[in-house]
Structure 1
Amino acid sequence: MIHGVIITPFDAAAILIVLAATLGYLNRRFLHLPQTIGLTVMGVIASLIVVGIDRLSPGSRLSHEIVAFIAGIDFHATLMDGMLSFLLFAGALHIDWSEMHRGRWAILILSTAGVLASTAIIGIGFQVIAGLMGLSIPLVWCLVFGALISPTDPVAVMAIMRHAAVPPTLQATVAGESLFNDGIGVVVFAIILAAATGTEPLSLGHATHLFLLEAGGGIALGLVTGWLAYRAMHSIDDYQVEVMISLAVVMGGYAVARWLHVSGPVAMAVAGLIIGNHGVAHAMSDVTRDYLLKFWALIDDILNAVLFLLIGLEVVTIPSDMRLILLGAAAIPLVLLARGVSVLVPLAALRPFLSLGSLAPVTLIWGGLRGGISVALALGLPDGPARAFALAATYLVVLFSVIVQGGTIERVLRSRAGIR
């Protein structure tokens, strides 16, 4: 509610779409930045202007109204229970299974052992850094931060990689790892958060059981829903119905995953791979294929525009405490270090069996961006001192990741590939 006016879900959606379209136009017209980076930057600038107005005019309640508006959106529920299913399915549709199959061991290890190693390194390192600053944060809550910041989201660099001479197998590996480490990361986060809040014990056996149940159940559900959709599409030739079937897979499948308490993100990634490969190749006419892929590309673009705009606007929700800013800034090199270790060690172990090329380390490390999933998980934390630390650190890491890493990855890849 703003000044007595009740903001309905439709009003909130309309405001965000209008803002995304307006700022997207201004970015394309004047800044010429990649869309995700441009919207994030413009969202941050708009937020800082709002904060500045409040500081210069003590009677202003503009930032309070915007915080109330963003809080009313429920960013966590909007992304985790809505947008994420569409984003993962749309991303999986465009991954070449044959290329992904070549990098399957790298994807499997990076999205499981890599996520767990990154969570542990960041969690322990975060507690050490906080202690050096005189802040006392329990280890389990530091591990919660490690789990929520470990999943990567390379949306902003996928198009760049296609123009920077990155081998197709490496492209598929980066995309496949991001899809599955999103799902695995959410599962790990949920397990550690349950232990931190005291609702579930944190033991290796119990955590392994929950992990296998949620991740394995998600894979099984994705295989079933993807296969059913593939068979249905194969038996007809009507692009309108087939696009609706793909929508039913995403919305219905994600709802079923929640009812069954299995990983919806993993299920949608698997279903998207099946439809994007077997479905596109064997179950669709040229007309249907064109409509379906363009439909999901547009959905992906719209949702990502809104998502990265929201990330930029979130700056007004961060408490203005210098200790939080310093801790968040210190978390940036820690996260990069953890990513480096969790990538380089598996790649070294796999070298006798698989070589992804000389571009693999820099692509996976510098191109492993953090995005909306990390912000949504941080915003979903229960109220308490640990939430403020985690939210500030998450925001600064994501901001650095999207703007600095996303803004320089093309030059880095071209330089390493010897392309001017």
Structure 2
Amino acid sequence: MDSVEVVLAMLLAVVASGYLVRVLPLSLPLPLVQIALGALIAAFSTHGVTLDPSIFFLLFLPPLLFLDGWRIPKDGLFRDKGTIIELALGLVLFTVLGAGYFIHWLIPAMPLPVAFALAAIVSPTDPVAVSSITARVPMPKRLQHILEGESLLNDATGLVCFRFAVAAVLTGSFSPASAALSFLWVALAGLAIGVAVTRITTFAQHWLADYVGEENGSPILISLLIPFGAYLLAERLHASGILAAVAAGISMSYVELSGRALASTRVQRTAVWNTIQFALNGTMFVLLGEQLPDMLRSAADSVEQSGHLNRWWLLIYALAITFGLTLLRLVWVWVSLRLTLFAARKKGEPMQTPHWRLVLATSLAGVRGGLTLAGVMALPLALPDGSPFPARDLAIFLATAVILISLVMAGIGLPRLLQGLALPEEPAAQQQEDHARHTAALAAIHAIEGAERKLLLESTDAEIYQLAATRLIALYQRRLNGSHHDHNEAQMLRQADKIETRLRLTAMQAEREAIFRLARAEEISDATSRRLVREIDLLESRYR
């Protein structure tokens, strides 16, 4: 099977996985089904796909992280920024230290710096894997947003730790001061570059569109290129390309609030991005499955590196490391929660203690994915003196096994852990939506009245204009009154249909502008505004 055929087979496997996960008798997580299909492709291909970590990072991570940053609710991200930073920074460092010493104690044949490198690359959760799991699990929205925010930001911490652990293996030395300064530059410069690329690119696009016009597909193509530009520029400046892609996506969500994009562009762009997200998410896990047979074959050589002859020790090591990571995460989450509750009570703030199952679910949701695989594959082949990098094959196998076991634990354990748990309602979100709909309806009525007066001056057929405007105002008035009763409506004339279409388009534009205005004033969340604007865009595309 040629390379092109392998790629096509992987895309077909992604499509097939969406159907298989619905017909299989067991409730298997979608990533596991895709990994199994990838292993099936490897069994029938004459040569496997050579996984170049740099190409993998470039092709898969920037668009997926950009989209996650674009769509993650910013009100939740900033509201829980303290908790997210604790998990993205504190938990990763805690895990690297705890898991590093544990791995070295468990496998004495693995040098301590290599154990720290392995612990660093398996410590950050993978945003793609987390999204794939949480999207199919009944989970409180706030917890889901915290997990997504953590997975978006903890990559930089883990990769910096990984980089310095590998450097310690190669040079035999480690400088904490240099590591701290490097982390600050990698993180802060990456975030700044991401914001700058989005702002400059969109400003240039709008300026060119105003002065010379643009093709219909240009805004969509530009949105696809922004994450790659931010990632490549950050990597060129030795900053975090991952954080640059995330920051570019978050910045893009604020650019969207200007309302400059056409309704048809937003609808088409959403469809394009949804397709890309589905294809890349699935291909990542199919590719992981395709790499799996070769990794299992190299596991036989890894047994000798671990100091044992029985291959079952590899499974014991993988299970022990995965459970150790889960236990460290549970300890951190529990201690962090207790400190938060203590601080809240000290300030006299009301604070509800989460159910123990939610705490355990937070620990179990630490899923690893393609980021861990690509990172561990980047381990050098040899030391500066030409000798083989110590325990490289063993580290790659253990990282792969941790990915698989964490996916199985989360995919199978989370639904059962949260089953029957009364999830807290979120009345604030419903109140925001009601407020936005009420404000948009008022804006639409005012816009219809203004357009009606203007049209009456342009035509002598006042009765038809009044009929169309009255019917449309009645529609919005029923929304204001909360009435959902059906009303028998008279047959409209063809002329009235055309006039009503014009009035509807005017009203929808006013609705959209009112919703954007509320979002800019932070009276509603960007998630609420995005959902309502999409409803209006879809309706407008029908009338146009």
Structure 2 counterpart SS, 1:202: coil
Question: How far does residue 167 in structure 1 lie from its aligned partner after superposition?
Answer: 3.5
Describe how 1:196-275 pairs up with structure 2 within 5 A: 196-198=169-171, 201-232=173-204, 236=209, 240-275=217-252
Pick one of 11, 34, 48 that aligns with 1:17.
Answer: 11
Cross-structure match for 2:75: 98
Describe how 1:385-404 pairs up with structure 2 within 5 A: 385-404=390-409
Gapped regions of structure 1 (runs ≥ 5):
51-61
Question: How far does residue 153 in structure 1 lie from its aligned partner after superposition?
Answer: 2.0
Pick one of 326, 330, 339 that aligns with 2:329.
Answer: 339
Question: How far does residue 86 in structure 1 lie from its aligned partner after superposition?
Answer: 1.4
Cross-structure match for 2:532: none
Q: Which amino acid aligns with 1:408?
A: G
CA displacement 1:175-205 (0-9 Å, x = unmatched): 111111123322222222222222x842110
CA displacement 1:344-368 (0-9 Å, x = unmatched): 3333333335969626523421112
Cross-structure match for 2:380: 382
Equivalent residues of 2:10, 2:38 under 8 A apart: no
Cross-structure match for 2:528: none
Q: Which moved more, 1:334-343 or 1:118-127?
A: 334-343
Q: Distance in 2 between matches of 1:278 and 1:77?
A: 30
Residues 357 and 103 of structure 1, relative CA distance in 2, 3 Å threshold: farther
**1:358 has 2:354 as partner:** yes
Q: Which amino acid aligns with 2:329?
A: R
CA displacement 1:384-409 (0-9 Å, x = unmatched): 34212211211111111112312331
Cross-structure match for 1:40: 35
Equivalent residues of 1:250, 1:268 under 8 A apart: yes
**1:181 has 2:154 as partner:** yes
Aligned length: 390
Please tell me the root mean square deviation across aligned C-alpha atoms, in Å: 2.9
Q: Distance in 2 between matches of 1:170 and 1:356?
A: 14
Q: Which amino acid aligns with 2:394?
A: F
Residues 224 and 194 of structure 1, relative CA distance in 2, 3 Å threshold: same
Question: How far does residue 99 in structure 1 lie from its aligned partner after superposition?
Answer: 1.4
Q: Which amino acid aligns with 1:388?
A: D
Q: Distance in 2 between matches of 1:394 and 1:105?
A: 29
Q: Distance in 2 between matches of 1:16 and 1:158?
A: 20
Residues 343 and 78 of structure 1, relative CA distance in 2, 3 Å threshold: farther
Q: Which amino acid aligns with 2:413?
A: T
Q: Distance in 2 between matches of 1:240 and 1:317?
A: 42
Cross-structure match for 2:142: 169
Residues 385 and 325 of structure 1, relative CA distance in 2, 3 Å threshold: farther
Q: Distance in 1 between matches of 2:191 and 2:65?
A: 14
Q: Which moved more, 1:358-367 or 1:99-108?
A: 358-367
CA displacement 1:187-226 (0-9 Å, x = unmatched): 222222222222x842110100111111111011012112
Structure 1 counterpart SS, 2:354: coil
Q: Distance in 2 between matches of 1:77 and 1:163?
A: 30
Q: Distance in 2 between matches of 1:289 and 1:46?
A: 36
Q: Distance in 2 between matches of 1:232 and 1:410?
A: 46
Gapped regions of structure 2 (runs ≥ 5):
304-310, 382-388, 425-544
Q: Which of the two has higher C-alpha Rg? A: 2
**1:298 has 2:270 as partner:** no
Q: Distance in 1 between matches of 2:422 and 2:205?
A: 41
Question: How far does residue 82 in structure 1 lie from its aligned partner after superposition?
Answer: 2.0
Residues 356 and 213 of structure 1, relative CA distance in 2, 3 Å threshold: farther
Cross-structure match for 1:69: 48
CA displacement 1:115-151 (0-9 Å, x = unmatched): 11111111111111113xxxx1111110000100011
CA displacement 1:101-124 (0-9 Å, x = unmatched): 111111112111111111111111
Question: How far does residue 271 in structure 1 lie from its aligned partner after superposition?
Answer: 0.9
Question: What percentage of aligned pairs have identical amino acids?
Answer: 26
Q: Distance in 2 between matches of 1:223 and 1:250?
A: 11
Equivalent residues of 1:229, 1:275 under 8 A apart: no
* TM-score computed with the length of structure 2 as normaliser: 0.65
Cross-structure match for 1:192: 165
Pick one of 405, 418, 433 that aligns with 1:413.
Answer: 418
Q: Distance in 2 between matches of 1:26 and 1:165?
A: 21
Cross-structure match for 1:59: none
Structure 1 counterpart SS, 2:367: coil
Q: Which amino acid aligns with 1:21?
A: V
Residues 329 and 164 of structure 1, relative CA distance in 2, 3 Å threshold: closer
Q: Distance in 1 between matches of 2:280 and 2:240?
A: 21
Using CA pairs under 8 Å that are at least 6 residues apart, name the structure with larger relative contact order, 1 or 2. Answer: 1
Structure 2 counterpart SS, 1:370: coil
Q: Distance in 2 between matches of 1:269 and 1:397?
A: 25
Cross-structure match for 1:137: 110
Q: Distance in 2 between matches of 1:258 and 1:405?
A: 32
Equivalent residues of 1:156, 1:406 under 8 A apart: no
Q: Which moved more, 1:85-94 or 1:18-27?
A: 18-27
Equivalent residues of 1:307, 1:372 under 8 A apart: yes
Q: Distance in 1 between matches of 2:193 and 2:30?
A: 33
Q: Distance in 2 between matches of 1:117 and 1:12?
A: 40
Pick one of 120, 129, 152 that aligns with 2:125.
Answer: 152
Question: How far does residue 240 in structure 1 lie from its aligned partner after superposition?
Answer: 2.0
Residues 348 and 196 of structure 1, relative CA distance in 2, 3 Å threshold: farther
Residues 344 and 16 of structure 1, relative CA distance in 2, 3 Å threshold: same
Residues 338 and 298 of structure 1, relative CA distance in 2, 3 Å threshold: same
Question: How far does residue 239 in structure 1 lie from its aligned partner after superposition?
Answer: 5.6
Cross-structure match for 1:86: 63
Question: How far does residue 287 in structure 1 lie from its aligned partner after superposition?
Answer: 2.8
Structure 2 counterpart SS, 1:69: coil
Q: Which moved more, 1:219-228 or 1:337-346?
A: 337-346
Equivalent residues of 1:27, 1:33 under 8 A apart: yes
